[in-house]
């Protein structure tokens, strides 16, 4: 769909041209402007493909507007309208690469012919841009990888359009990943000579911004490893499929490379991992749910040593490394379901703020390697453990909350906040926030507002202090804020309350 901007200071003319365009080209989007200045204001957001403009207009005429348009990155095609058969205007228009010069009254056939000519030029340019083979291949290959139900005949047609020749001795797919350190396009540009299409190598960027390499020679992946090994600032890993025959299996071969790539999580020092070396690892169907449940039950007790020893049993690296990596993926999901989700569902959103690792723990590949994952998991479990222990202590000793309430009621006129009170009673900020709400039924801010308004009501009834003075006496430096909070709780202003009492 193309966009057309029409500028003319005569309303009937601009609306008439708009009607012509809509009738001849119903799929086009159009917009009108009364002069060159208004037209320029529309250009930024509307981004027209074609501009049809009058010559003589108030504020900014057509020629001036056209000159302004020449500074745009995406220059629209321009058609000049004029009621004057003046060669000087035509000459000025030609200087600014105007596509056509039409005299008023505009003839519908001529306008249609001009627009059709412009469309042909635009589409020709568009086709030339799409013909860049590497870009075309990248888009089509990603299309193939993202569409599992393509028919074999459709695949053959796509490969022909991409000018991809079959590999008589088979081919391999490699995925090169840098963990977001370097953009895939930049990495590909740096290896342009190494991954030359003259050598039968086809590189492209996939949806995850990883470099994908198709090659009939597996040596290319070693060459890439050696090249990147010299670039010491780049951390990378390469997963390589088994040998495949027939491009119709490209998607499944790509998935082999993805599967191989996962094992970099367990073996981070191994820069190139071959699918052939990991494909025969056994799958484990039974999970140690009993150990996970035992761990969950121990949290909040005095069994710190047992918790850590059971975690080591649960994540025995040797056992995990000798089995298919789906075992660790499923094990992590079970840990999240049994320990973390049940814990956070009990405590609500406040605990989510305290333990922001939860979302990260949902996927092991959010961590660089098994070592980082294990220590993050251990850290989160021990934090939950300590949290539970302190909760038990708080529940058993109501004096913490009584002490906090007393402190608030004695100091509400001061600059109080949750951190000040939690420090005063020596409790963790998040623990105290949760316990305070459990104990009072209100969050800290609402409770403090209530106490301050109670104090203000006593002063309004039993003293001659001005409302401004009372505001400061109950902890509000801003009298407008005091009045707003008072009305929020009591439904009337402080002044109205004093008059009623």
Instruction: Say how many Å lie between the first and final Cα of the chain, rounded.
Output: 71
Helix (H, G, I), strand (E, B) or coil at 102: strand
The C-alpha angle 368, 374, 380, rounded to 5 degrees, equals: 110
Mean pLDDT across 336-362:
70
Q: Which of 282-286, 409-413, 435-439 has the lowest mean pLDDT?
A: 435-439
Name the pLDDT band for 266 (thresholds 50, 70, 90).
very high
CA distance 359 to 351: 13
Q: What is the β-pairing status of strands 3-7 and 50-54?
A: parallel
Q: What is the pLDDT of residues 413-459, one digit of tens each?
A: 888 999 999 999 888 888 888 888 888 888 999 999 999 999 989 99
Instruction: Tell whether the model's pLDDT for residue 348 goes beyond 60.
Output: no
pLDDT band for 355, please (50, 70, 90 cuts).
Answer: low
Q: Nearest to residue 368, comparing CAs of 185, 152, 178?
A: 178
d(CA 386, CA 307): 12
pLDDT tops 90 at residue 374: yes
Residues facing residue 52 across a β-bridge: 6, 79
The answer to whether 43 touches 5, Cβ cutoff 8 Å, is: yes
Tens digit of each residue's pLDDT (9 = 90 or more) over 65-84:
888 888 888 889 999 888 76
pLDDT value at 123 more than 90: no
Q: What SS3 state is found at 80?
A: strand
| Nearest-5° Cα angle at 14, 9 to 17 | 150
Residue 260: pLDDT above 80? Answer: yes
> In the numeric block, which tokens belong to residue 58?
């108030």
Whole-number percent of the chain with pLDDT over 90? 41
pLDDT at 270 over 60: yes
Residue 49 and residue 77 in contact, taking contact as beta carbons nearer than 8 Å: yes
* Per-residue pLDDT at 64: 86
Asked if residue 180 has pLDDT above 80, the reply is no
What 3-state class would DSSP assign to 456?
Answer: helix
225: which 2 tokens? Answer: 């490893």
- Work out the mean pLDDT of the chain and round it to a whole number: 86
pLDDT of the residue at 164? 81
Which of these, 71, 68, 74, 66, lies nearest to 82 by C-alpha position?
66
Q: What is the spatial distance between Cα 430 and Cα 360, in angstroms, rounded to a whole number?
A: 20
Work out the average pLDDT over 171-175. 94
Q: Which two tokens stand for residue 110?
A: 């001529």
pLDDT surpassing 60 at residue 342 = yes
Answer with the residue of higher pLDDT: 304 or 190: 304
What pLDDT is recorded for position 60?
87
Taking the C-alpha atoms of residue 447 and residue 435, their distance in angstroms, rounded to an integer, is 13
Per-residue confidence (pLDDT) for residue 261, from 0 to 100: 95
The Cα 79–Cα 58 span in angstroms is 18
pLDDT over 90 (residue 263): yes
Q: How many helices (H) and strands (E) does the chain have?
A: 26, 10
- Residue 100 pLDDT > 70: yes
Q: Is the dihedral of CA 153, 156, 157, 158 positive or negative?
A: positive
pTM beyond 0.75: no
Q: Determine the 3-state secondary structure of 452 from DSSP.
A: helix
Report the chain's C-alpha Rg in angstroms: 36
370 has a pLDDT exceeding 90: yes
Q: Does the pLDDT value for residue 352 go beyond 80?
A: no
- Confirm if 242 and 279 have CB atoms less than 8 A apart: yes
């Amino acid at each position: 769909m193309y966009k057309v901007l029409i500028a003319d200071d005569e309303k009937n003319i601009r609306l008439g041209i708009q009607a012509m365009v809509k009738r001849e080209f119903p799929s086009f989007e159009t917009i009108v402007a009364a002069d060159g200045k208004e037209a320029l204001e529309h250009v930024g957001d509307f981004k027209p493909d074609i501009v049809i403009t009058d010559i003589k207009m108030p504020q900014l005429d057509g020629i001036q507007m056209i000159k302004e348009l020449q500074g745009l990155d995406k220059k629209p095609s321009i058609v000049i309208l004029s009621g004057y058969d003046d060669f000087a205007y035509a000459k000025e228009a030609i200087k600014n690469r105007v596509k056509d010069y039409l005299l008023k009254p505009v003839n519908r056939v001529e306008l249609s012919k001009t627009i059709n000519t412009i469309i042909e030029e635009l589409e020709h340019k568009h086709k030339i841009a799409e013909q860049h083979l590497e870009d075309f291949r990248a888009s089509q290959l990603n299309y193939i990888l993202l569409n599992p139900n393509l028919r074999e005949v459709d695949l053959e047609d796509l490969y022909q359009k991409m000018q991809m020749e079959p590999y008589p001795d088979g081919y391999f797919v490699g995925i090169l990943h840098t963990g977001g350190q370097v953009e895939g396009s930049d990495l590909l540009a740096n290896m342009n000579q190494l991954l030359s299409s003259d050598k039968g190598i086809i590189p492209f960027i996939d949806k995850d911004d990883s470099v994908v390499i198709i090659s009939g020679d597996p040596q290319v992946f070693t060459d890439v490893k050696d090249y990147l090994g010299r670039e010491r600032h780049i951390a990378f890993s390469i997963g390589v499929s088994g040998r495949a025959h027939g491009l119709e299996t490209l998607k499944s071969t790509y998935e082999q490379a993805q599967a191989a790539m996962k094992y970099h999580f367990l073996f981070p020092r191994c820069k190139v991992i071959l699918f052939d070396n990991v494909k025969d690892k056994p799958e484990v169907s039974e999970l140690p749910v009993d150990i996970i449940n035992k761990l969950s039950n121990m949290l909040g007790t005095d069994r710190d040593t047992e918790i850590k020893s059971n975690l080591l049993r649960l994540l025995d690296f040797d056992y995990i490394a000798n089995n298919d990596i789906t075992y660790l993926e499923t094990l992590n999901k079970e840990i999240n379901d049994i320990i973390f989700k049940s814990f956070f569902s009990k405590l609500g959103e406040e605990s989510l703020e305290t333990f922001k690792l939860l979302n990260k723990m949902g996927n092991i590949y959010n961590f660089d390697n098994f070592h980082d994952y294990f220590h993050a998991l251990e850290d989160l479990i021990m934090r939950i453990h300590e949290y539970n222990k302190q909760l038990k202590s708080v529940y058993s000793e109501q004096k913490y909350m009584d002490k906090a309430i007393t402190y608030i009621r004695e100091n509400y006129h001061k600059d109080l906040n949750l951190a000040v009170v939690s420090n005063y009673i020596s409790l963790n900020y998040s623990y105290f926030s949760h316990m305070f709400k459990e104990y009072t039924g209100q969050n800290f801010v609402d409770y403090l507002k209530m106490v301050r308004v109670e104090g203000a009501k006593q002063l309004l009834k039993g003293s001659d202090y001005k409302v401004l003075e009372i505001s400061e006496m109950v902890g509000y430096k801003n009298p407008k804020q005091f009045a707003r909070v008072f009305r929020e709780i009591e439904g009337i202003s402080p002044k109205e309350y004093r008059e009623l009492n």
